[in-house]
Amino acid sequence: MKKIIPIVFICFITFCYSQDFTKNPFGKGIINVMSSDSSWSTKVAFRFQSRYDGEFNFSDSSFSNRAYVRRARIKGHGFAFSPKIQYKFEYDVANGQVLDAVLKWNFAGNWSIWFGQTKLPGNIERVFSSQKLQLVYRSLLNKYFTLDRDAGFQLRHKLHLGKTFLVRTKFAVSQGEGLNRKAMSSGNGYTGRVELLPFGDFTKKGDYFASDLKREDTPKLMLSVTYDFNDNAVRQGGQMGDDIMGSTRDLQSIQADAHFKYKGLSFFGEYANRVSTDGGPINDLNEAYHTGSAINLQTGYLFKNNWELAGRYTQVNFEEATGLDNFTQYTFGFSKYVVGHNLKIQGDFGITQEENNEDLIFIRLQTEFNF
- Burial tier of 176 (Cβ tally within 10 Å: 0-12, 13-18, 19+): buried
Question: If you compute the radius of gyration of the chain from its CA atoms, what whole number of angstroms results?
Answer: 21
Rounded average pLDDT over 32-40: 88
Neighbours of 249 (CB within 10 A): 23
Q: Mind listing the pLDDT tens digit for each residue in 261-277? A: 999 999 999 999 999 99
**With 60 as the cut, is the pLDDT of residue 319 above it?**
yes
Q: How far apart are CA 358 and CA 356, in angstroms?
A: 7
Q: Is residue 133 part of a domain?
A: yes
Q: Is residue 77 part of a domain?
A: no
**With 80 as the cut, is the pLDDT of residue 7 above it?**
no
Q: Is residue 307 part of a domain?
A: yes
pLDDT of residue 182: 83
pLDDT of residue 15: 47
Query: What's 314's domain CATH number?
Result: 2.40.160.10
- Calculate the CA 81 to chain-centre distance: 29
Name the least confident of 13-22, 36-45, 339-348: 13-22
pLDDT of residue 246: 74
Q: How far apart are CA 318 and CA 8, in angstroms?
A: 45
What does the CA dihedral 202, 207, 212, 213 come to, rounded to 10 degrees?
-80
Q: Mind listing the pLDDT tens digit for each residue in 201-255? A: 999 889 999 999 999 999 999 999 999 999 999 999 999 999 988 778 999 999 9
Answer whether 149's CB lies under 8 Å from 178's CB: yes
Instruction: Look at 187 and 336; give whichever has higher pLDDT.
Output: 336
Instruction: Look at 17 and 132; give whichever has higher pLDDT.
Output: 132
pLDDT of residue 285: 63
Domain holding 195, by residue range, is: 43-69+118-370
Q: Is residue 113 part of a domain?
A: no
**With 50 as the cut, is the pLDDT of residue 309 above it?**
yes
Rounded average pLDDT over 4-22: 51
Q: Is residue 363 part of a domain?
A: yes
Task: Give the total number of structural domains in the chain.
Answer: 1
Q: Is residue 4 part of a domain?
A: no
Residue 58: name the closest of 332, 349, 357 by CA.
357
pLDDT of residue 186: 83
Identify the band that residue 18 occupies on the pLDDT scale cut at 50, 70 and 90.
very low
Q: Is residue 82 part of a domain?
A: no
For residue 170, give Cα distances in angstroms to 158, 191, 193, 251, 309: 9, 8, 5, 20, 32
Q: Is residue 34 part of a domain?
A: no
pLDDT of residue 341: 94
**With 60 as the cut, is the pLDDT of residue 366 above it?**
yes
